[in-house]
């Protein structure tokens, strides 16, 4: 029988479910670097891999690495940031109004 699920708070108020021996540590930011760590226990590698993928998704680390694969001109960076700002503003307005 599996132990009951427990939640462990992380920085920023996010929660990671902890079950079947996969434990996680808070992703602290030291020197501007995201530190992601997953401890594998009871040989439950699949669950630990799912936790790691979830943490990578939430931290945005993979998105940042993909974006940095090639050089981005300053004008392109400004365009991308402006589009992201517009998208976030629309999203906030949509969430605020129901």
Structure confidence by residue, pLDDT tens digits, 36-88: 888 888 999 999 999 999 999 999 999 999 999 999 999 999 999 999 999 99
Q: Can you give the pLDDT at residue 52?
A: 92
Query: How many angstroms separate the CA atoms of 9 and 17, rounded?
Result: 9
Name the residue with higher pLDDT: 39 or 2: 39
Look up residue 32 and give its two tokens: 């501007």
pLDDT band, residue 97 (cuts 50/70/90): confident
CB 53 within 8 A of CB 61: no
Q: Tokens at residue 65, please?
A: 């690495």
Q: Is 68 left (phi over 0), alpha (psi -120 to 50) or beta?
A: alpha
- Cα pseudo-dihedral 30, 40, 6, 55, rounded to 10: 40
- pLDDT recorded at residue 82: 98
Strand partners, 29: 34
Q: What is the pLDDT of residue 34?
A: 59
The pLDDT value recorded for residue 7 is 45
């Amino acid at each position: 029988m599996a132990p009951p699920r427990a939640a462990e708070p992380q920085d920023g108020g996010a929660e990671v479910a902890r079950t079947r021996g996969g434990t996680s540590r808070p992703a602290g930011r030291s020197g501007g670097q995201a530190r992601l760590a997953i401890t594998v226990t009871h040989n439950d590698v699949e669950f630990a891999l799912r936790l790691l993928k979830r943490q990578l998704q939430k931290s945005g680390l993979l998105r940042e690495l993909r974006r940095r694969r090639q050089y981005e001109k300053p004008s392109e960076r400004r365009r991308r940031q402006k589009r992201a700002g517009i998208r976030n503003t629309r999203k906030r307005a949509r969430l605020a109004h129901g």
